[in-house]
Structure 1
Amino acid sequence: MKKTYKNIFYKTLITITVLTASSCKKFVELGAPPTQVLFEDSFKTDAAAQSVVMGLYSFSSQATNGLITSLTFYSGVSSDELQYNSSDALVQEFANNSIANTNGTANTIWGTTYQLIKNANNAISGLSASTTLTPSVKNQLLGEAKFMRAYAYFHLVNLYGDVPLPLKDDYSAFENAVLPRSSTAGVYAQIIKDLTEAQSLLPTAYVGTFRGRVNKYAVTALLARVYLYQKDYVNAEAQATQVINSAVYTLPAPEVAFINSSNEIIWQIGNIPGISVPGAAYVTLANVIPNYTLADATYQSFESTTDLRRTNWTVAKTIGGKTYYGISKYKIGTGTGNEYNVALRFAEQYLIRAEARAQQNNVSGAKTDIDMVRTRAGLGGVSAILTQAQMLTAVEQERKVEFFGEWGHRWFDLKRTNRAATVISALKPTWKSTSVLFPIPQAQIIVNPSLTQNPGYQN
């Protein structure tokens, strides 16, 4: 039986043929349908293999696929960062930190992220087995596919904790479908393995325009974040330093940081109209309340009214006598524009290194890094006499006002520093200690009995 690859959505199809008394040789192979190609053929030529990997980017750019939306909005309202102003009951469960294990939105997050992993596994398998591709093209595509798999697993493990870890292609679909949850440590080990291998495969130069395909520095930037989350501060500092010392990126003025030609961008997920997913949600007409706005407490936490992030990345809107603090990092919400979905940007590398240095008690080095971000925001440097604990608090605050409304940074920061219960329980009476993880969708447990539910979400 041959595997087929679908041209349009890049999803591998499996055909199960039930054989009775006849041998496989008695059947005539008709080949793939007109809208499909045989899986093996997808990796015979550079052009065909590139189309497969571009499909990974295409899949990750869809607003409805559970990645951009879930990480930015649902994680945002789960923390103290975003305020939800609409009436979708499923989203309100995230805002209340009381998600039902039957929540359809939560099921979509899980399912579509694993679909991306499935597609990446198929690409890695096909590329690895191919003997006909140009070596440099093969390395480029394999590095990109490994990055995308690590990217997906990084977010899954931070949302759900222990998760299944399928690494094989669709020839092993039945085996993949009944995998139990792997430990968080095991998932992180695979993420680091994928990213380290991708580093060795990818060039420092970008392929294409607008930094829409990852290069070595994009991989390094994500690896720095992964090491920080794992409390491997030596490696977090070393990886961030590679990006900082590359001389490729800068910190432009806040008002232009998110246009698709910004030199702060390390990696962005493109789209045809040039309208970002956050922009479409955050930017509305003057008399229209956005579905998601900055929480009042977060807005008030800026240390200065002259902070350029406050003046350029927020906008106050008074509607019906109530003031809402809109997020204006992206300036365009409809029509066509010049903004993509910025996934990795340079400021994070300074704050990763600042935190890693502070954790190693290099407080002066941490000050140098945090001050780079503050200077761009029009602020003075932090005090030169901060203690280690005070510097770590300063870094947390700087991350809060730098990354609000982006990819769930605040939600993940509160969880990884064990601050979620302290911060969120004071704001939400519905908070429980088990709210730090999303529930494993009950629909997934039904089809895979090897899965177990996260504490606090059992029926």
Structure 2
Amino acid sequence: MKRIYYFLLLLATVGSISSCNQFLNTKPLAFASPAANYATEPQLLQALAGVYDVLGLSGSQLYADNLFDKLGATTDEGFYARAKANAASETYTFDYTEPNIDATWQTLYIGIERANNLIYYINTPKSMDPVERNAILGEAEFLRGYYYFLLVSNFGAVPMRLLPTTITGANSNNVPRTDIKDVYAQILSDMTDAEGKCYPATHFGYSSRVSQTTVEGVLARVCLTMAGYPLQDHSKYADALKWATKVQASGLHALNPSYSQIFINEAQDVYDIKAAMWEADFHGNELSDTYQESGRLGNTNGIAFSASNYADTGYSYGFINATAKLYSLYGPGDQRRDWAIAPYGYSGTPSVRVNKGTLIYDRNCGKWRRSYETLTPKSKNNTGENFPILRYADVLLMLAEADNQVNNGPSANAYEAINEVRRRGYGFDVNTPNVIADLPAGLSKAAFQDTIVNERARELCFETLRRPDLIRWGIWTSTMQTLANQMHADLDNNTSWSYASIAATNAASSPKFLLYPIPVSEITVNKAATQNPGY
């Protein structure tokens, strides 16, 4: 995390001071209590940095790769463009021993443990600005809630641990899975408490720390999820509308006039806190800095280029290609299509752009383009590109969806929210009505919801939101079956892409794929844990 990684660097420096002789001394001189690690304001900030750190751990965990590549890419928007039998998580051939699922689970619980410690010891410093203490507490509470949200929405009922293991001791291992409804209640408790404590978005000037409006936007996401499958708590639509409206009413956020600029900014360490409300922030690329916490955004899911000289273009495996369904969702003149779905590839050394042909399945995900990276030299496998966890466009679309449900049809505010997103997509001024971009008046509740389903794909494709959206709407299995049928018809006789329908076919084959399995690491250690059906 660029703005907080310095605290981590300080911790690493302090931790390396002890000599080997001292370490090997068989008689320990003293033991520091856990509270000693939280005794000052700088230590609390260091601990907070550690809670954030799991969002972007170098390797494959969470937003470094897993969530947008291994676990989040195979939907009706995209498919894994490699005919490899070992891509279990990408092709829905996994079981409870799948390493990528295991790594995601373990990383989320690491974040929860760090948050639990910080929350428990937050009052240890005796003299401290109460506003700053409250803000640190609020961010820790929110992050704990967010990590549980990722767990419960992907795994269902999960063990809920709310105290540090130093306090619970041996009892922390064998914890039964908590009912989904109770996990969500804890998430809401943590996040609503955090909302009143966190700083406004203007306090930091960058998007890697959580602000008050970020909390509100994510609360809207949580409430929409609760309103859908599996809880079906329709009362939460009103809460989602409330939280999304608070973000809108704050006046602190706005759409970037250029859709492509959002992602160029993320490649170049440019912060637009109005549009990109919360980002997983990466630093370095293993070649450029002593400290680095890099990810693989643009590397695993960028425009494919594998020549030995990739100084300008940047190396990318191009694992994720778009579906013809996604391509067809964009209307004539929608500028988002040729940014989200790359209309060209690369060839030669030095590289030149080569336009793709008429077969849409040849086209890579194009949102994160390594050619825009300014950090040099470019690493083969690591980038410093930031990942957008929450964008203002998402908040507007959530507002429109919740409004439509609450009012049994879209109000003028719902129309305006979605039309702002659409106008920007077509390159028009977001605040000026436009006959090309704006939706027709008089849509029914069902028709407006169908438009929301498609608009979220057009705007937010490849941003880890499609799978949870389709599941909460109750249409995951049917959507993936329809996609499989289309891909079979399009590609079964194509020698290059005949395998491409495998993942969609597998995903639609069993309701068990609405959840991931409880991973082997938990089943082995936690004797009270049970497995999800079908695994």
Same fold? TM cut 0.5: yes
Q: How does 1:427-446 map to 2 (within 5 A)?
A: 427=484, 428-430=504-506, 431-446=509-524
Aligned AA (1:57): Y
2:278 aligns to what SS in structure 1?
A: strand
**Equivalent position of 2:531 in the other structure:** 453
Q: 1:413 to 1:109 in 2, by over 3 A?
A: same
- 2:284 alignment partner, one of 273, 290, 294: 273
Kindly state the Cα deviation for residue 440 of structure 1 after the two structures are TM-superposed. Answer: 0.8
- 1:57 alignment partner, one of 46, 52, 60: 52
2:297 aligns to what SS in structure 1?
A: helix
Kindly state the Cα deviation for residue 443 of structure 1 after the two structures are TM-superposed. Answer: 3.2
Distance 2:329 2:474 in 1: 22
- 2:103 alignment partner, one of 92, 99, 108: 108
- Is the 1:78–1:94 Cα contact (8 Å) retained in structure 2? no
**Equivalent position of 1:237 in the other structure:** 241
**Equivalent position of 2:394 in the other structure:** 348
**Equivalent position of 1:381 in the other structure:** 438
Distance 2:157 2:204 in 1: 36
Q: 1:134 to 1:38 in 2, by over 3 A?
A: farther
- Is the 1:364–1:384 Cα contact (8 Å) retained in structure 2? no
Distance 2:148 2:13 in 1: 21
Mark the runs of 5 or more structure 1 residues left unpaired by the alignment.
12-26
Kindly state the Cα deviation for residue 133 of structure 1 after the two structures are TM-superposed. Answer: 3.0
| Higher mean C-alpha deviation, range 358-367 or range 144-153 | 358-367
**Equivalent position of 2:199 in the other structure:** 203
- Is the 2:40–2:124 Cα contact (8 Å) retained in structure 1? no
**Equivalent position of 2:457 in the other structure:** 400
2:79 aligns to what SS in structure 1?
A: strand
Distance 1:299 1:10 in 2: 50
Aligned AA (1:51): Q
2:251 aligns to what SS in structure 1?
A: coil
CA RMSD in angstroms comes to 2.8
**Equivalent position of 1:364 in the other structure:** 411
Aligned AA (1:397): N
Distance 1:331 1:173 in 2: 47
Identical counterparts, % of pairs: 26
Kindly state the Cα deviation for residue 401 of structure 1 after the two structures are TM-superposed. Answer: 1.3
Distance 2:74 2:330 in 1: 24
Q: How many residues align?
A: 432
- Is the 1:101–1:442 Cα contact (8 Å) retained in structure 2? yes
Q: Within the alignment, does 1:293 sit opposite 2:320 as a pair?
A: yes
- Is the 2:306–2:317 Cα contact (8 Å) retained in structure 1? no
Q: 1:182 to 1:8 in 2, by over 3 A?
A: farther
Kindly state the Cα deviation for residue 227 of structure 1 after the two structures are TM-superposed. Answer: 1.1
CA deviations on 1:276-307 (whole Å, 9 max, x unpaired) are 64223233455677343233234323232421
Q: How does 1:212-361 map to 2 (within 5 A)?
A: 212-231=208-227, 232-252=236-256, 253-258=258-263, 259=265, 260-262=270-272, 263-273=274-284, 277-284=296-303, 286=305, 290-317=317-344, 324-332=362-370, 336=375, 339-360=385-406, 361=408
1:244 aligns to what SS in structure 2?
A: helix
- 2:118 alignment partner, one of 119, 123, 144: 123
- Is the 2:224–2:237 Cα contact (8 Å) retained in structure 1? yes
- Is the 1:99–1:438 Cα contact (8 Å) retained in structure 2? no
CA deviations on 1:429-457 (whole Å, 9 max, x unpaired) are 32211111111113321211111111110
2:250 aligns to what SS in structure 1?
A: coil
Kindly state the Cα deviation for residue 76 of structure 1 after the two structures are TM-superposed. Answer: 2.6
**Equivalent position of 2:188 in the other structure:** 192
| Higher mean C-alpha deviation, range 207-216 or range 296-305 | 296-305
Distance 2:208 2:216 in 1: 16
- Is the 2:41–2:125 Cα contact (8 Å) retained in structure 1? no
- 1:422 alignment partner, one of 478, 483, 495: 478
Distance 1:207 1:86 in 2: 44
- 2:469 alignment partner, one of 413, 417, 424: 413
Distance 2:297 2:145 in 1: 23
Q: 1:187 to 1:128 in 2, by over 3 A?
A: farther
- Is the 2:301–2:320 Cα contact (8 Å) retained in structure 1? yes
**Equivalent position of 2:147 in the other structure:** 152
- Is the 1:359–1:388 Cα contact (8 Å) retained in structure 2? yes
1:453 aligns to what SS in structure 2?
A: coil
2:279 aligns to what SS in structure 1?
A: strand
- 1:85 alignment partner, one of 81, 85, 90: 81
Kindly state the Cα deviation for residue 202 of structure 1 after the two structures are TM-superposed. Answer: 1.3
Q: 1:213 to 1:432 in 2, by over 3 A?
A: same
Q: 1:380 to 1:284 in 2, by over 3 A?
A: closer
| Higher mean C-alpha deviation, range 446-455 or range 265-274 | 265-274
- Is the 2:302–2:366 Cα contact (8 Å) retained in structure 1? yes
Distance 1:59 1:307 in 2: 36
1:315 aligns to what SS in structure 2?
A: coil
2:107 aligns to what SS in structure 1?
A: helix
Distance 2:220 2:210 in 1: 15
2:224 aligns to what SS in structure 1?
A: helix
Distance 2:282 2:103 in 1: 21
Distance 1:78 1:435 in 2: 12
CA deviations on 1:135-172 (whole Å, 9 max, x unpaired) are 12211111111111111111111110111110001221
Kindly state the Cα deviation for residue 221 of structure 1 after the two structures are TM-superposed. Answer: 0.8
Aligned AA (2:29): L
Distance 2:205 2:420 in 1: 27
2:118 aligns to what SS in structure 1?
A: helix
Distance 2:13 2:191 in 1: 25
Distance 2:523 2:14 in 1: 26
| Higher mean C-alpha deviation, range 267-276 or range 414-423 | 267-276
